[in-house]
């Protein structure tokens, strides 16, 4: 075994010194690995002292509160699913008739556009003159008031 | 359960997890404290561990010791927590844990664990799981969502960094 392989086994050797005899033999002969083992052992001690298990003993009410929270969670999740499904059902009931009643595209627009084009083509305008959409409508109202007004108010 | 509904636990299963809270809460909290470095975060994480155990009980097959399973969940939750809260990690470590509970830092025989705050969340999680908890590289890699090789590299890098800091 080389140093790299041995060094990652050091925590296991600290826990169970006889777990890897080959690695143990290597450490006995290798100063670098021995130094690393001492370092890891010191770090382990530091952690044990810095965070002793006894320092975090929680009282019973904290555990009871946690158990209660878990029970609420158990009840709440299916309730959330049920509410979500109910909301979806209600939405679909509301939206389905609305979607069915949606008006089709108005025919008069097409007719109006065709007529506009025809009218524009028949216009006797000066060269270079341009009309905006509103101006065209005004022109149509002026030239063919009855027919156009009926269409606009449709 | 193909449509994602979680199976409800039986009364007996619920009782088992409630017993785990009584038996292992301290251990889970201690590990959370080592990983997160502050008590509030550790308490939040410990609670989350048992909630997740409650939700995922169906995936626990009883092959491993319950605490081994809980350790893996703890490691995963704390690691994710550290990644989410990089800015405030280990801020209260010295004040709360080292001076408050275990006496003066100077009286310690080992290496000051506050040095671990210099490590990345992955490095710190790997070091703590390896040298303080009985977790293999394979198990901790699974818990942290990384490869076994990456976990080994992170462990090696972490020890090198710490040794440099101590010199």
* 8 A C-beta contact, residue B48 and residue B79: no
Tokens of B50: 């048992």
Please write the tens of the pLDDT for every residue from A48-60.
887 776 556 666 6
Angle at A58 between CA A56 and CA A60, to 5 degrees: 165
Is residue B27 within 8 angstroms of chain A, CB to CB? yes
Would the pLDDT of A136 be above 90?
no
Contact B102 A49 (CB under 8 A): yes
Share of chain A above pLDDT 70, in %: 56
Q: Which of residues 10-49 of A touch B (CB under 8 A)?
A: 11, 14-15, 36, 39-40, 42-49
Q: What gap in Å lies between CA B148 and CA B34, rounded to an integer?
A: 22
Instruction: Report the complex ipTM.
Output: 0.75
Which of these, B62, B7, B49, B89, lies nearest to A74 by C-alpha position? B7
Q: What is the pLDDT of residue B56?
A: 84
* 8 A C-beta contact, residue B141 and residue B131: no
Residues of B with CB below 8 A from A61's CB?
A: none
Question: From the DSSP assignment, how many helices (H) and strands (E) are in chain A?
Answer: 8, 0
Q: What is the pLDDT of residue B4?
A: 41
Residue A47 CB contacts under 8 Å (≥ 6 apart), including other chains: B34, B110, B113, B128, B131, B132
Range with the lowest mean pLDDT among A32-41, B37-46, B86-95? B86-95
Q: What gap in Å lies between CA B50 and CA B17, rounded to an integer?
A: 8
Which of these, A33, B91, B23, B167, lies nearest to A20 by C-alpha position? A33
Which of these, A9, A22, A55, A51, lies nearest to B131 by C-alpha position? A9
Would the pLDDT of A15 be above 60?
yes
Is residue B130 within 8 angstroms of chain A, CB to CB? yes
Is residue B159 within 8 angstroms of chain A, CB to CB? yes
Would the pLDDT of B136 be above 60?
yes
Contact A74 B14 (CB under 8 A): yes
Is residue B51 within 8 angstroms of chain A, CB to CB? yes
Share of chain B above pLDDT 90, in %: 23
Q: What gap in Å lies between CA A70 and CA B94, rounded to an integer?
A: 32
Q: What gap in Å lies between CA A147 and CA A140, rounded to an integer?
A: 9
Q: What is the pLDDT of residue B21?
A: 85
Angle at B48 between CA B47 and CA B49, to 5 degrees: 90
pTM confidence score: 0.65
Which of these, B114, B24, B117, lies nearest to A51 by C-alpha position? B114
Please write the tens of the pLDDT for every residue from B57-115.
878 877 778 888 999 999 999 999 988 876 555 555 544 444 444 444 444 567 787 88
Residues of B with CB below 8 A from A74's CB?
A: 8-9, 14, 54
* 8 A C-beta contact, residue B139 and residue A76: no
Average pLDDT over every residue of A116-132 = 57
**Buried residues in A21-59 as b, exposed as e (16+ CB within 10 A):** eebeebbeebeebeebbebbbbbbebbbbbbeeebbeee
Is residue B16 within 8 angstroms of chain A, CB to CB? no
Is residue A103 within 8 angstroms of chain B, CB to CB? no
Which of these, B76, B77, B54, lies nearest to B6 by C-alpha position? B54
Q: What gap in Å lies between CA B149 and CA A33, rounded to an integer?
A: 20
pLDDT band at residue A135 using 50, 70 and 90 as cut-offs: low
């Amino acid at each position: 075994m080389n140093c790299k392989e041995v060094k990652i086994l050091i925590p296991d050797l600290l826990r169970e010194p006889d777990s890897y005899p080959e690695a143990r033999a290597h450490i006995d002969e290798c100063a670098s690995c021995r130094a690393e083992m001492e370092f890891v052992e010191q770090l382990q001690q530091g952690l044990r002292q810095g965070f002793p298990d006894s320092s975090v003993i929680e009282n019973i009410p904290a555990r009871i509160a946690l158990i209660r929270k878990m029970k609420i969670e158990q009840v709440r999740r299916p309730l959330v699913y049920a509410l979500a499904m109910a909301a979806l059902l209600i939405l679909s009931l509301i939206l389905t008739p609305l979607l069915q009643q949606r008006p089709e595209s108005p025919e008069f627009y097409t007719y109006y556009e065709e007529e506009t084009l025809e009218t524009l083509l028949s216009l006797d305008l000066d060269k270079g003159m341009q009309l905006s959409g509103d101006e065209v409508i005004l022109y149509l109202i002026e030239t063919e008031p009855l027919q156009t007004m009926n269409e606009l108010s449709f | 359960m193909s449509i994602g509904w979680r199976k409800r636990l039986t009364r007996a299963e619920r009782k088992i997890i409630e017993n785990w809270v009584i038996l292992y809460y301290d251990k889970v909290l201690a590990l959370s404290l080592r990983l997160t470095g502050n008590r509030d975060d550790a308490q939040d994480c410990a609670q989350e561990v048992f909630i997740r155990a409650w939700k995922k009980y169906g995936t626990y097959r009883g092959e491993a010791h319950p605490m081994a399973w809980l350790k893996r969940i703890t490691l995963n939750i704390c690691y994710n927590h550290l990644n989410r809260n990089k800015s405030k990690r280990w801020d209260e470590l010295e004040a709360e844990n080292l001076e408050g509970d275990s006496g003066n830092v100077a009286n310690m025989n080992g290496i000051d664990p506050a040095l671990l705050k210099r490590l990345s969340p992955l490095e710190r999680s790997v070091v703590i799981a390896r040298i303080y908890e009985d977790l293999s590289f394979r198990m901790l890699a699974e818990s942290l969502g990384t490869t076994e090789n990456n976990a080994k590299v992170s462990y090696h890098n972490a020890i090198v960094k710490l040794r440099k800091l101590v010199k």
